[in-house]
A = this chain, B = another copy of it.
Amino acid sequence: MDVIKVKAVSRTAAVAGAIAGVIREHKHAEVQAIGAGAVNQSIKALILAKNFLDQDGITVVFIPEFVNVEIDGKVRTAIKFIIEPR
């Protein structure tokens, strides 16, 4: 299962659809964002995904954590959101 990577310019509806699809199939999804714009966009997508899944009778919760990722040889701190049914 791939991590869904979100950027500041990602479309929230597209990300939300991806999250909802992964949750329906795997009962677990992960979203990763680096920087304030990407984190903000992730949260909006998480809210939309939550609303999509509510309509399917699936209540999800979110657990954020810090992760270190290497980009172009530099270590950066990303935020990973784990999404699971409650």
Q: Which of B35, B36, B46, B86 contacts A61 (CB 8 A)?
A: B86
Q: Give the Cβ gap from A79 to chain B, nearest Cβ, in Å.
A: 6
Contact between A50 and B64, CB atoms less than 8 A apart:
yes
Q: Is A52 an interface residue (CB 8 A)?
A: no
Question: Given A47-B66, A61-B86, list of 11 further CB < 8 A pairs?
Answer: A36-B37, A36-B39, A36-B40, A46-B64, A47-B79, A50-B63, A50-B65, A61-B61, A61-B62, A62-B62, A62-B63
10 of the cross-chain contacts (CB-CB < 8 Å) are A35-B40, A36-B37, A39-B40, A43-B43, A47-B64, A47-B79, A50-B64, A50-B65, A61-B63, A62-B63
